[in-house]
């Protein structure tokens, strides 16, 4: 949810900025959009739709997550000329590295899980298991490869949505914010030559 | 009824190529962050 919030914040900032410079708000041109749909659709089935999530084992979930993120990296590569995509791509690479090194899912320590869901009994958090239909795997912090790249950043308790983030997630949020707030509004308007 | 259709036509007339482009980019980026990001238990833990 915080990543969607970054999109909203970037868009609003872009709108305000376009008002200040008195130019219509424009978004950067993005190519190969279909690649995002192809990459994200399986993730929707496995991680976001409760009805279909049960059809897939954890092995499938981890394989699909890695392949899907590789496809998204391909999409970022095709749009590499935009700075926002470079920032976002770096975040994606960091997430992909820690996910791949830890068996295909994003590591989460039991301590972080307990902080996120204090009402859940601690015995529920079984090391090596995937909680619900999430992209996470519960691993002890000391047993996690490149643990500092995992979901180890906790946002303040007053924050209403998901509070555990990875450094890669922060870069992804910054990348989309940059794309919409900075790279959109000042894009020069195409000049058309009059036939006269 | 005619007035309603007229209002809808006016609103639709104001939607131009730029609006559709903005909508498509926002939709694409939303899908992208959904797939690229992995915030802690974004899919929910379910059953609790």
B12-25 pLDDT per residue, tens? 667 778 888 899 99
Q: Is A157 exposed, middle or buried, given 0-12, 13-18 or 19+ CB atoms closer than 10 A?
A: exposed
In angstroms, the separation between the Cα of residue B36 and the nearest Cα of chain A is 6
Residue A154's beta-bridge partner residues? A164
In angstroms, the separation between the Cα of residue A146 and the nearest Cα of chain B is 15
Residue given tokens 């699909």 in the structure block: A64
Alpha helices of A26-166 — where are they, by DSSP H?
33-43, 50-53, 58-78, 83-101, 110-116
Band (pLDDT 50/70/90 cuts) for residue A122 is: confident
- Contact check, Cβ <8 Å, A3/B46: no
Per-residue pLDDT at B6: 65
Say if residues A96 and A62 touch (Cβ distance below 8 Å): no
A108-120 average pLDDT score: 88
pTM: 0.85
- Contact check, Cβ <8 Å, B39/A2: yes
Domain ranges of chain A: 2-181
Over 70: is that where the pLDDT of A194 sits?
Answer: no
What distance in Å separates the CA atoms of residue A101 and residue A46, rounded to the nearest whole number? 21
Say if residues B41 and A133 touch (Cβ distance below 8 Å): no
Residue of A176, A182, A189 for testing the chain B interface, max B β-carbons within 10 Å:
A176
In angstroms, the separation between the Cα of residue A114 and the nearest Cα of chain B is 12
Among A26-30, B13-17, B39-43, the range scoring the smallest mean pLDDT is: B39-43
B19 CB neighbour count, 10 Å cutoff: 11
Among A109-123, A168-182, B32-46, the range scoring the smallest mean pLDDT is: B32-46
CB contacts of A162 in chain B (<8 Å) are 39-42
């Amino acid at each position: 949810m915080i990543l969607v919030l970054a999109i909203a914040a970037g868009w609003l900032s872009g709108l305000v900025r376009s008002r200040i410079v008195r130019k219509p708000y424009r978004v950067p041109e993005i190519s190969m959009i279909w690649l995002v749909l192809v990459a994200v659709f399986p993730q929707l089935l496995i991680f976001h739709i409760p009805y279909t999530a049960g059809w897939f084992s954890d092995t499938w979930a981890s394989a699909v997550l890695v392949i899907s993120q590789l496809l998204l990296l391909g999409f970022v590569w095709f749009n590499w000329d935009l700075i926002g995509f470079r920032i976002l791509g770096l975040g994606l690479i960091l997430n992909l590295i820690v996910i791949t090194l830890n068996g295909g899912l994003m590591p989460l320590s039991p301590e972080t899980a307990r902080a996120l869901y204090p009402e859940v009994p601690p015995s529920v958090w079984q090391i090596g298991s995937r909680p619900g239909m999430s992209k996470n795997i519960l691993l002890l912090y000391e047993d996690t490869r490149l643990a500092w790249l995992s979901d180890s950043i906790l946002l303040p308790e007053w924050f209403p949505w998901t509070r555990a983030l990875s450094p890669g997630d922060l870069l992804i949020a910054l990348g989309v914010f940059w794309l919409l707030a900075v790279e959109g509004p000042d894009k020069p308007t195409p000049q058309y030559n009059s036939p006269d | 009824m005619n007035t309603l259709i007229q209002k809808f036509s006016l609103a639709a007339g104001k939607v131009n190529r730029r609006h559709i482009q903005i909508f498509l980019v926002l939709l694409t980026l939303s899908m992208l962050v959904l797939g690229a990001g992995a915030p802690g238990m974004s899919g929910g833990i379910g059953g609790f």
